[in-house]
Amino acid sequence: MKKIVFFTFLVLLTINAYAKDSQYITKDETATVTFTFDNAIIINGWFEFDIMLESDIAGRRLGDNQEYINYNYIYFGSNVYNNGNIQVEKGTLLQGDIAGSPLYSLVNVTDNTLSRVAITYSYLFESAPGWANVIPTYPTQLLHIAMKVTDNTSSPGFSYQQAMMIGQSYESDNETKFDVIATDTINNSFPYADFTSDITSGNLPLQVNFIDMSIPGYSDIEEWNWDFQNDGIIDSYEQNPTFIYYESGTYDVYLSVSDGISKSNSISIKYDYITVNTASEPLIAVSPDSLDFGHVWVDSTVTLPIWVHNYGVPDLEVSNILCSTDKFSVSLPQAKDISFTVASMDSQQVYIHFTPQDTVDYSANIIFFSNDPVHGVLLTDVYGTGYDFYANFGADQTTGDVPLEVTFMDSSAGDIVSWYWDFGDGDSSTVQNTTHTYQYDGVYDVSLTVEDTYHSNTITKLDYITAIGHPEIYTQDSLGFEYGVVYLSDISGDSIIVIENTGTDTVLVSDVSFINDTNGFHYSYNHMGIPIPPNCMDTLYVNFEPLLVQTYEDTLLITNNSENKPLLKIPLYGTGEYVPPASPEGLVIDIQGVNVQLTWNPVDSTIYGEPLTPDGYIILNNEEPYDEQFSFLGFTSDTTYTHVFIAQYRDHMYYKVVAYKDFEGKNIKYW
């Protein structure tokens, strides 16, 4: 515990302990002033205090024109180890340096007798006395002193003897006085660890109650770390813990405390503090010494273990174990008899069973009969309560459109510690009251499993949730397809119809057909009767293969279960035509005077290379080479044609020759 001492000019010497005395000393006096700390607190054998210096006038300097400062006769009489058990540190006033050399240094510790310790300081004095430190006009630490005290029966004391102390701005002033006052303020910077206990020795098992005696510093102690065997393992963080020793021996006890502010903890170790002996006779002990089953489901059975120990040297003979009520029963592992032997420092496990039959509190004694000479009949208390335990739940709604959000509320009974929901659609939850969204239509079972400390219970509600979906479809091809002219031996390319389920229920295509069934249009769909889930799509292919030379019109009907388009109608258009002759090749133009003669090779096949003899050839002409502006000039069944007088009137002309075939005797077909 730190005590505070002040010197001022007038020097105020304050010793923070118990108010004792007040005296005046001039600077030339060598009289000794003595104080006794009647209420001193000794921490782990150490007594600490600070000496503080304060000037009543600004500018006073420490050690003016003097070579050293000497504090004599700091003593504690027979209470102090003077052979090295004193610690003196320079305070802030003595810190600092001039040109790299300290202003003040600890010269020696002399006269180290049983009655006193002399502490001498000197400052580096050269030609300029101003190098000496100016004494502040507020309390400043001069020294910190710690001494080890061995005799707690008497109060420590302090004696101050002035010797060549101070000056006042290089002027002599023999009238300056020192006011020496002791106050009753106690100021502790750091916490100090200390403890005691209710007992320090006894037989196994030895229960010891430890009592914290630590003293706080500026702040309250917040942390306690106990090691009851001093093996480096912290056994407790409580302020006043209880510990049971189960092995004989002598134990050191360790305690460290911290206020959460100090840089280091205070530690107390008491060596050989606890002595644990082994009894010379059988000594029975049961752990735990009482057993509380807590809440147990009515008509169920819960089993908990206890241990029977022998802390004596001879064998412990347990002849019987009884229960004072039939709601509790006893058994041993491996179907052993209730009578058994426990060797010295050994244990035997025993099972206690509790079966409540009503929702009431139960208590009983488990009675152990043994050859322990002191505790031959040992009673252990057991407790338990029967209670109702079951799973149950409700919901804010059980029917609705998809997506259906349902809030489930737990209404189970018992000390529930966990919940497990199965919503029936593959999802689950462990939250007591939970919300779940059903994304697809259907009828779902819901189950809830709850657990308490010992049991689990499940309730399942069948067909509990009905989620209603609405199938809807969309297709971008609902306006139909125009295939144009397709030759009788050709098949058009596939037209693709995409059926997209944009609703919340499954779409099912039940039938695909044509209204007219003209045998010119065909579809391909391999998923008839296969559901299309929401946000999915399927594809149907349609083509045109004419069998006759004619115009085709039909409508494709797609029957489904959607609510918006249960009968999807897709118009289809196309024209069938014969395969035409091939184009004539080898066309030659020969100008003969004012006439132009055209010749070409005969055509003998269709455009697909099939044999064909055309009925004739059509000659077209135009002054510009644009297909849409060619005009009929004439026709011939031969492979030559003469355009008369054309050279007389035109300086250029374009010609086209095409073969034609009248397949049905109705109209000339030419290309």
- Per-residue model confidence as pLDDT tens digits over 316-337: 999 999 999 889 999 988 666 7
pLDDT of 269 higher than 90: no
pLDDT of 203 higher than 60: yes
Is 307:273 a contact under the CB 8 Å cutoff?
no
The dihedrals phi and psi of 337, each to the nearest 5 degrees, come to -70, 155
DSSP 8-state code for residue 126: -
Token digits of residue 323: 């229960």
pLDDT of 425 higher than 70: yes
Percent of the chain at pLDDT exceeding 70? 69
Is 19:140 a contact under the CB 8 Å cutoff?
no
Is 53:94 a contact under the CB 8 Å cutoff?
no
Is 339:332 a contact under the CB 8 Å cutoff?
no
Confidence of residue 7 (pLDDT cuts 50, 70, 90): very low
pLDDT at 293: 96
- Mean pLDDT computed over 412-426: 97
Give Cα 194 to chain centroid, integer Å: 39
pLDDT of 461 higher than 70: yes
Question: What are the structural domains of the chain?
Answer: 2-183 (2.60.40), 195-277 (2.60.40.10), 288-387 (2.60.40.10), 393-468 (2.60.40.10), 473-577 (2.60.40.10), 588-660 (2.60.40.10)
More confident position, 405 or 121: 405
pLDDT of 343 higher than 90: yes
pLDDT at 478: 60
Confidence of residue 266 (pLDDT cuts 50, 70, 90): confident
Q: What is the pLDDT of residues 435-449, one digit of tens each?
A: 999 998 899 999 999
Q: What is the pLDDT of residues 487-507, one digit of tens each?
A: 988 999 999 999 999 988 889
The DSSP bridge partners found for residue 560 are 509
Average pLDDT over the chain reads 78
Count of beta carbons in the 10 Å neighbourhood of residue 423: 20
pLDDT at 24: 33
- Mean pLDDT computed over 534-552: 92
pLDDT of 160 higher than 50: no
Q: Which residue has the tokens 């009788």?
A: 488
Token digits of residue 628: 């849409």
pLDDT at 165: 36
pLDDT of 220 higher than 50: yes
pLDDT at 489: 83
Confidence of residue 596 (pLDDT cuts 50, 70, 90): very high
The dihedrals phi and psi of 164, each to the nearest 5 degrees, come to 30, 85
ω into 205 cis (within 30 of 0): yes
pLDDT of 399 higher than 90: yes
pLDDT at 191: 74
- Mean pLDDT computed over 149-178: 41
pLDDT of 41 higher than 60: no
Confidence of residue 628 (pLDDT cuts 50, 70, 90): confident
**Cα–Cα nearest to 120, from 70, 61, 65:** 70
Token digits of residue 232: 């480096």
pLDDT at 216: 80
Confidence of residue 17 (pLDDT cuts 50, 70, 90): very low
**Which amino acid, 59?**
G
More confident position, 262 or 601: 601
Confidence of residue 662 (pLDDT cuts 50, 70, 90): confident
Question: Which spans in 55-151 are helix H?
Answer: none
Residues 6 or more apart whose CB falls under 8 angstroms from that of 54 comprise 6, 7, 8, 9, 11, 12, 135, 136, 137, 138, 139, 140
Q: 99-113, 296-310, 646-660: which has the minimum mean pLDDT?
A: 99-113
Q: 114-128, 345-359, 657-671: which has the minimum mean pLDDT?
A: 114-128
Confidence of residue 408 (pLDDT cuts 50, 70, 90): very high
Between CA 121 and CA 98 the distance in angstroms is: 16
Q: 25-34, 82-91, 414-423: which has the minimum mean pLDDT?
A: 25-34
Q: 399-401 and 456-468: which strand pairing?
A: parallel
- Mean pLDDT computed over 250-265: 80
Confidence of residue 529 (pLDDT cuts 50, 70, 90): confident
Confidence of residue 371 (pLDDT cuts 50, 70, 90): very high
pLDDT at 91: 65
> What is the arrangement of strands in the sheet containing 177-183, beginning at the earlier edge strand?
12-16, 177-183, 22-26
Handedness of CA 55, 60, 61, 65 (dihedral sign): negative
Instruction: Flag whether the pTM goes above 0.75.
Output: no
- Mean pLDDT computed over 351-374: 95
- Mean pLDDT computed over 25-52: 50
